[in-house]
């Protein structure tokens, strides 16, 4: 079985050559299909950079990154967008909801225009599974923080991605909402046979994963 994600000797630097700051150094790991991985480590250690690289939102300075066997280092932006559309759902700590769109409209936002009409029922069903059937046509300002994050997760899942990348998805939630939301995310991942890679500072969440990868000073330890 081929890996869902494969990092091979990946490094990431910012700045001009003489003054470059190395954020990640020689990162090697793989994520199997249907595997749930947590990435942990101190603030500034490079955890979020791994999510950004795996999603193609950052470009590696060195090394190889494969998503479902496809090399993404060196792809053009339109090609990376296609890789994301076909393979990846991304959940950020900030919700990034459009304030003047309803919950359903925000979920459909990630789809191409010709898909939006066909998948509106799917969006409503997904939001219903997340306990938001009574909030479908509410604006973000009318939703609680926990409800907004559920909408953001539904938006990441509407394309039925093979890989979910989550960066501190509970960072802006209280404990009760955090536990509830992680139950939803883990249940969905297992039910849909999806891979999940999640950055978290919460040990109780990390310990629910199949495997923990620890990053310190830009390296796996």
Q: Does position 69 have pLDDT exceeding 80, yes or no?
A: yes
The confidence score (pLDDT) of residue 15 equals 83
Distance between CA 158 and CA 111 in Å, rounded? Answer: 8
Q: Which residues pair with 211 in a beta bridge?
A: 37
Distance between CA 178 and CA 107 in Å, rounded? Answer: 20
Q: Would you mind telling me the total number of residues written for the chain in this entry?
A: 221
Higher pLDDT, 221 or 176: 221
Where are the alpha helices (H) located in the chain, listed in sequence order? 47-54, 77-87, 103-108, 113-116, 120-129, 145-157, 175-192, 203-206
H or E element, residue 110: none
Residue 13 DSSP SS3? strand
Distance between CA 218 and CA 44 in Å, rounded? Answer: 8
Q: Residue 93: name the closest of 199, 179, 195, 186 by CA.
A: 199
The confidence score (pLDDT) of residue 103 equals 96
Mean pLDDT for 38-49 is 94
Higher pLDDT, 176 or 61: 61
The confidence score (pLDDT) of residue 92 equals 87
The pLDDT tens digits of the residues spanning 84-112 come to 989 999 998 888 899 999 999 999 987 76
Higher pLDDT, 38 or 121: 38
Query: pLDDT tier at 148 (50, 70, 90 boundaries)?
Result: very high
Distance between CA 122 and CA 190 in Å, rounded? Answer: 19
Q: Does position 19 have pLDDT exceeding 70, yes or no?
A: yes
Average pLDDT, the chain: 91
Query: pLDDT tier at 114 (50, 70, 90 boundaries)?
Result: low
Cα distances (Å, whole numbers) of residue 205 to 88, 95, 148: 21, 19, 20
Query: pLDDT tier at 116 (50, 70, 90 boundaries)?
Result: low
Q: Residue 29: name the closest of 217, 215, 160, 216 by CA.
A: 215
- Lookup result for tokens 């891979």: 195
Q: Does position 194 have pLDDT exceeding 80, yes or no?
A: yes
Q: Does position 24 have pLDDT exceeding 90, yes or no?
A: yes
Query: pLDDT tier at 206 (50, 70, 90 boundaries)?
Result: very high
The tokens for 133 are 């059937």
The tokens for 34 are 């249907």
Mean pLDDT for 131-147 is 94
The confidence score (pLDDT) of residue 166 equals 95
Q: Domain 34-58+85-220: which topology? A: Rossmann fold (3.40.50)
The confidence score (pLDDT) of residue 1 equals 61
Mean pLDDT for 162-187 is 87
The confidence score (pLDDT) of residue 112 equals 64
Cα distances (Å, whole numbers) of residue 45 to 23, 219, 220: 8, 8, 10
The confidence score (pLDDT) of residue 117 equals 62
């Amino acid at each position: 079985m081929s890996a869902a994600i494969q990092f091979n000797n990946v490094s990431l630097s910012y700045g001009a050559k003489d003054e470059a700051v190395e954020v990640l150094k020689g990162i090697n790991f793989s994520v199997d299909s249907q595997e749930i991985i947590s990435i942990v480590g101190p603030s500034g250690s490079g955890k979020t950079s791994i999510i950004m690289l795996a999603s193609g939102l950052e470009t590696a300075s060195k090394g190889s990154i494969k998503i479902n066997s496809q090399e993404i280092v060196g792809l053009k932006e339109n090609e990376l967008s296609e890789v994301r559309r076909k393979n990846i759902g991304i959940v950020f700590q900030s919700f990034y909801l459009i304030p003047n769109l309803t919950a359903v409209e925000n979920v459909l936002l990630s789809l191409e225009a010709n898909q939006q009409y066909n998948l509106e029922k799917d969006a409503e069903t997904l939001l219903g599974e997340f306990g938001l059937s009574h909030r479908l046509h509410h604006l973000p300002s009318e939703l609680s923080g926990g409800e907004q994050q559920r909408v953001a997760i539904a938006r990441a899942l509407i394309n039925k991605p093979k890989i979910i990348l989550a960066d501190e998805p509970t960072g802006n939630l209280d404990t009760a909402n955090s536990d509830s939301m992680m139950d939803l995310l883990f249940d969905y991942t297992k039910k849909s046979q999806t891979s999940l890679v999640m950055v978290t500072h919460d040990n109780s969440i990390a310990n629910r994963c199949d495997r923990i990868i620890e990053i310190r000073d830009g390296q796996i330890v």
